Amino acid sequence: MCIDWIANSLRACGPTGKRALIPGSLPTNHVLQKSVETPKTPARKPPQVSRPPPPAPDLVAYYNFEEIRQDTLQLAAPWCLLENSKEQIQVGITEASQVKLRVVILPDFTVQVHVYGFHASSALSTIEHVRLNQFLLDLHERKLCPGITEAGLQMYADLPSGDNHVYFKHVLGYCLDNSGVSCVSCVRSGSCTFVLNNVSSNMCVQCNAAKNLLMKKQQRASESALRPINKHDPLHSTDTKSEIVCSVKNLEVDNSLHNSLKDVVSKTPLETFWEEQQKAFSRKGHGMIRLAILLHSRSPAVYETLRQTGILKLPGESTLRDYTNVFGPKDGFNKQAVDELVRQSKELKEEERFVVLYVQDADSADI
């Protein structure tokens, strides 16, 4: 290798004056350039927006259903084990010989919370991420909705008979006192949550709305009680039997109505019918003639049958023709008929005077 290829800084002189290369030196002078230069990839720019940290791993408290069954052997008071099988686990809190709070755990880690036998929809629905004792402790510390406990509002609600009810009467139990066995109850909304999410509230929102409805119903009942009974009121609207008896005694009965009812009851239906027929024919005017003309125009055969059987006292067809043919037929407008229409239309309202003229062509062969 030629000495000219080595830079002076990489050469050293020994004690005898002989020049030598420094160990590790490489030729740097007169180095040939590459005929093809490989392009270099530009450096990656740093991100302008910082990335969020990766999500924390989803930790589970149980891997299988058997682990939950093992934890049921170490339940804390006041919880007690009701059922521990491969199908489900039931733990609860009893109060006055009934289960106040019941927790049902299924093999797929779903949880169902029942308060006095009613499903609480606001409770936690899974136990996969929390230990059983901690779940029961948190549930026991949460407040339960007491419902509507005002004694004056209990009478306006009925026992639950189906799923569709705005509010219902919830019987909590029975107690024995000097007057006998009494019922301890409250009124709840049909969509009561039973378990309160807000610690500061004393009642769920649904029961509070149901309480307002019951108070309005109580107010309407109080106003109705102050109003005297009317003869058109139904019997179930009165409170006591004495009020009904007192109201009946104070009713004023018209003597003419009493005598009319007495006459009707004392006669047979056939006698009453013929008397009404005679009264109808003895009236002034042509009311019955108009009815007879109407029946005859609808069906002459039926009209003749009614007249011959004597079911109705009806005039003959010749009598009806005397009324229907009172105006002789002729061409053009009949002045008598027009005058009669004008006379009758004077008593009609303005909207009743609108008429429709119907003209039917007559064939010469039919004339």
pLDDT (tens digit per residue) in 259-279: 666 665 566 666 766 676 666
Please, are residues 90 and 113 in contact by the beta-carbon 8 Å criterion?
no
Higher pLDDT, 144 or 242: 144
- Asked if residue 133 and residue 81 are part of one domain, the reply reads yes
Give the mean model confidence (pLDDT) for residues 174-202: 79
263 or 355, higher pLDDT: 355
Q: What is the pLDDT of residue 361?
A: 63
Whether residue 134 sits in one domain with residue 196: no
93 and 128 share a domain? Answer: yes
Q: Which structure tokens are listed for 16?
A: 């005898």
Rounded Cα distance, 303 and 305, in Å: 5
Mean pLDDT of 45-53: 78
115 and 173 together in one domain: no
User: Which residue has better confidence, 98 or 260?
Assistant: 98
Cα–Cα distances (Å) from 46 to 40, 41, 50, 52, 220, in that order, read 18, 15, 10, 15, 74
Domain end (from 193, 208, 225)? 225
**Position 362 in a domain:** no
> Looking at residue 143, what is its pLDDT?
87
Q: How far is CA 326 from CA 184, 294, 323, 329, 357, in A?
A: 85, 16, 5, 9, 21
Higher model confidence: residue 46 or residue 234? 46
In a domain, 16, yes or no: yes
Q: 128-132, 191-195, 230-234, 237-241: lowest mean pLDDT where?
A: 237-241
Highest mean pLDDT among 56-70, 116-130, 262-276, 278-292: 56-70
167 and 205 belong to one structural domain: yes
**Pair (135, 155) in one structural domain:** no
Q: Residue 319's domain spans which residues? A: 269-324
Cα(229)–Cα(239) distance, rounded to whole angstroms?
Answer: 10
Does 125 lie in the same domain as 100?
A: yes
Q: Check if the beta carbon of residue 58 is closer than 8 Å to that of residue 70.
A: no
Question: Would you say residue 207 has pLDDT above 80?
Answer: yes
Task: Give me the pLDDT at residue 308, please.
Answer: 85
- Asked if the structure places residue 364 within a domain, the reply is no
287 part of a folded domain: yes
Mean pLDDT confidence for 107-124 = 83
Instruction: In whole angstroms, give the CA distance from residue 130 to residue 228.
Output: 64
> What confidence score (pLDDT) does residue 128 get?
83
pLDDT at 284 over 50: no
- pTM for the model stands at 0.48
Kindly state whether residue 301 falls inside one of the protein's structural domains: yes
Confidence at residue 253, expressed as pLDDT on a 0 to 100 scale: 59
Residues 73-83 pLDDT 10s: 888 888 999 99
Q: Is the pLDDT of residue 165 over 60?
A: yes
Closest among 164, 200, 206, 215 to 188, alpha carbons compared: 206
CA distances, 54 to each of 7, 60, 142, 279, 346 (Å): 54, 18, 34, 102, 93
Same-domain check for residues 122 and 183: no
In a domain, 246, yes or no: no
Residue 214 lies in a domain: yes
Q: Note the Cα 197 to chain centre separation in Å.
A: 24
Domain-embedded: residue 207: yes
Q: How many domains does the chain have?
A: 4
Are residues 109 and 126 in contact, defined by beta-carbon separation less than 8 angstroms? yes
Mean pLDDT of 192-197: 86
Give the model's confidence band at 358: pLDDT under 50 very low, under 70 low, under 90 confident, else very high.
Answer: low
Q: Do 172 and 135 lie in a common domain? A: no
Give pLDDT, residue 104. Answer: 92
- Strands 11-13 and 180-189 come out as unpaired
End-to-end CA, the chain:
147
| Pair (178, 135) in one structural domain | no
